[in-house]
Amino acid sequence: MFISYYSIGKSAQTALAKQYMEIAKDIADGLDKGVYQKFIISKQDDENRKQTRQYLDQYYDRIKALYVYILMLDSTDISKVMVASYPQGTLDLTIGTPCTVPAEKVKRAKKGESYFTETIKDHSTGAYLSVGVPFYNEAGKILGVVGIDIDAKNVKQVRDEVLKKNIFIFVIDIVFTIALLTVAFILNRWYKLRLQQDLKESEKMYTSELGRVIDAIKSSRHDMLNHLQVLSGLMDMQLHNKARDYLNQLTIESKIVNMSLRIRNPILMVLFQSKWEFAQSKSIQMYFDTDQNEYSRVESMDLARIFSNLLDNAIEATEDYMGEQPKQIRVICKTIGDKYVFAVENTAQLSVKEQKNLFQNGYTTKENSDELRGNGLMIIKRTVELYKGKIHFQYEEDNVVIRITI
């Protein structure tokens, strides 16, 4: 809105300046160059100067300017008035009186270029702007510059007239500005609410993961104490071979998967480690088939959302599985061409209804399940859609495969 107002003001100033430059050109064309040339040679208040001033007075009375004058161009860049037409009651300007035309405009005039100034503020005449047009003798030599000082009030009048004629556009500009600010405010509020929602969701997810890790540690500690008691008993009975076999078996069962050698994304590495330990506590085997890739095109938080919910559902379904297949989960993270392929395979038994409604908002196969679990697959779906990815679901022979391509 301010920019439009300022732009209209500048346009009005430029238009008015160009109009008066045309008037100055007419004055220069009609000026008796011979008479003026005699005056600048004598530089006296003689008949030649009076005749030139009378010519300027004719235009002054018609164009409503503050001053109409002729500038002298000499070796300096200081503007000096040679003869002027001015309001009645004003003292005559002596020959060579300095005026307020800026030095850079004088330099332009010396090059034969017309000019107009920005608004100049003067304590005696008030605010005004000046225009100037050089003129020449028959030999093509610059004799001087016809200058006109225009009251700044004229610029305001032109600007107000333009605004009056374009008030509808100006109102539209104001409405557009208000609408733009409103949209910016709404987007800012939406972003903050979305951020709070994401933080709440992440807090739930990580709180759940932390609780499972703690439970796994407690369970492992309890199991380890039992194993140590058995080993102590075997050693006390001097059954060393039995103790060695038991220790070897214990080492195999408690072996921790080394994620750092398989995946470079630290968020996935920590997440997979905790899920692997949780699956082990449920007597579920979990296998990983991964690239050494950071999967940087997908935000780490979104990777955590996808795999945390996929693996939670897989562990839950596999734990409840009562069929003949081994309880196991396979996790796949691959880069194929320019696509990321993420998949989780697990043993499970699903009814036709469960297969149909698996990705519906709030649907869960558990009767007493929390909100996060019920919305888990829906969260996966929304996250994948952010990256314009695809989800493929397959179920056959007690084996569930959810494959995501991004």
- In CATH, what number is assigned to the domain containing residue 324? 3.30.565.10
* Same-domain status, 14 and 159: yes
Tell me the pLDDT band of 400, cut-offs 50, 70 and 90.
very high
Report yes or no: 329 and 345 within 8 Å, Cβ to Cβ. Answer: yes
For residue 223, being part of any structural domain is answered with: no
Q: Are residues 151 and 269 in the same domain?
A: no
* Mean predicted confidence (pLDDT) in 287-291: 91
Average pLDDT over residues 118-131: 85
Q: Are residues 161 and 264 in the same domain?
A: no
Domain end marker among 140, 165, 190: 165
Supply the mean pLDDT for the chain. 83
**Which of 165, 195, 213 marks a domain boundary?**
165
pLDDT tens-digit readout, 194-215: 777 776 776 666 666 666 666 6
Verify that 275 and 128 share a domain, yes or no.
no
Domain span holding position 362: 257-406
pLDDT value at position 202? 64
pLDDT tens-digit profile of 77-90? 999 999 999 888 77
The span from the CA of 253 to the CA of 279, in Å, is: 13
Residue 217 forms part of a structural domain: no
Non-local (6+) Cβ contacts of 24 within 8 A are: 114, 131, 132, 133, 146, 147, 148
Q: Tell me whether residue 170 is in a domain.
A: no
**Domain end point (choices 146, 165, 184):** 165
For residue 371, pLDDT over 50 is answered with no
C-alpha–C-alpha distance, residues 115 and 79, integer Å: 13
- Are 41 and 160 within one domain? yes
**Which has the higher per-residue pLDDT, 364 or 377?**
377
Residue 60 placed within a domain: yes
- Together in a domain, 266 and 395: yes
Q: Are residues 385 and 266 in the same domain?
A: yes
The domain that contains 69 carries what CATH number? 3.30.450.20
Q: What global pTM score does this model have?
A: 0.45
Q: What is the pLDDT of residue 224?
A: 74
Unique residue bearing structure tokens 């161009």: 73
Q: Are residues 382 and 276 in the same domain?
A: yes
Classify residue 330: in a domain, yes or no: yes
276 and 404 belong to one structural domain: yes
Q: Are residues 160 and 273 in the same domain?
A: no
Which of the pair, 247 or 374, is modelled with greater confidence?
247
| Predicted local distance difference test score (pLDDT) of residue 363 | 45
Q: Is 391 found in the same domain as 267? A: yes
Residue-wise pLDDT for 294-340, tens only, equals: 899 998 889 988 999 999 999 999 999 998 999 999 999 999 999 99
pLDDT, average across residues 389-404: 93
Domain count, the chain: 2
On whether residue 23 sits in a domain, the answer given is yes
pLDDT band at 256 (very low <50, low <70, confident <90, very high): low
Rounded distance between C-alpha atoms, residue 143 and residue 50, angstroms? 17
Is the pLDDT assigned to residue 26 strictly greater than 70?
Answer: yes
Q: In angstroms, rounded to a whole number, what is the distance separating the alpha carbons of residues 148 and 237?
A: 121
Q: What is the pLDDT of residue 369?
A: 47
Q: 216 versus 348: which is more confidently predicted?
A: 348
The four Cα atoms 45, 51, 53, 54 give a dihedral, to 10 degrees, of: 140
> Domain check: are 7 and 136 in the same one?
yes
Greatest mean pLDDT among 3-17, 80-94, 209-223: 80-94
pLDDT-wise least confident of 56-65, 174-183, 218-227, 368-377 = 368-377
Is residue 125 one of the residues assigned to a domain?
A: yes
What's the angle, vertex CA 237, arms to CA 236 and CA 242, rounded to 5?
105
Would residue 156 count as lying in a domain? yes
Q: What is the pLDDT of residue 252?
A: 64
